[in-house]
Structure 1
Amino acid sequence: MKKHGLSMLQIAVEAGRTVNTVRRHLALEEVPKYERNVKGACKLDTHRDYLRKRQAAARPKWIPVTVLYREIVAR
């Protein structure tokens, strides 16, 4: 877009971004590579199998989170 003579404001409006974002990307020498962040461990990881079994057993109804929380604490 810049090569076609559009200003940074016009590019920002077309792309739905801010002018500062357009300016930053134009200053980069190469296209940025986006990588998904690796998720860390979750507090519920140790209880994940139990929670899935409880949800499956209750289908088509559901179990309130407060009940599941009390069950986890009791375990």
Structure 2
Amino acid sequence: MAENIENNGCSQRDNAEHEGYVKRQVIQSDMKKEAVCAETFRAILYKDNNRRIRELRQTREHQELMA
């Protein structure tokens, strides 16, 4: 099986396989970044929701004491 050899001595097939490998690495890296961002966003929302719940409870308790 004859393969075309490029100027750098690598076959076109090897070059294409390498490009595919690099693209997979980039995609996996992007997916990891997205997962970290999503987890950070969930943590922020969770913290904010807990703060809001605490404020609502305090407001209700205050209203009950004033009634």
| TM-score w.r.t. length of structure 1 | 0.22
The structure having more radius of gyration, on CA atoms, is 2
Name the structure with the higher helix share.
Answer: 2
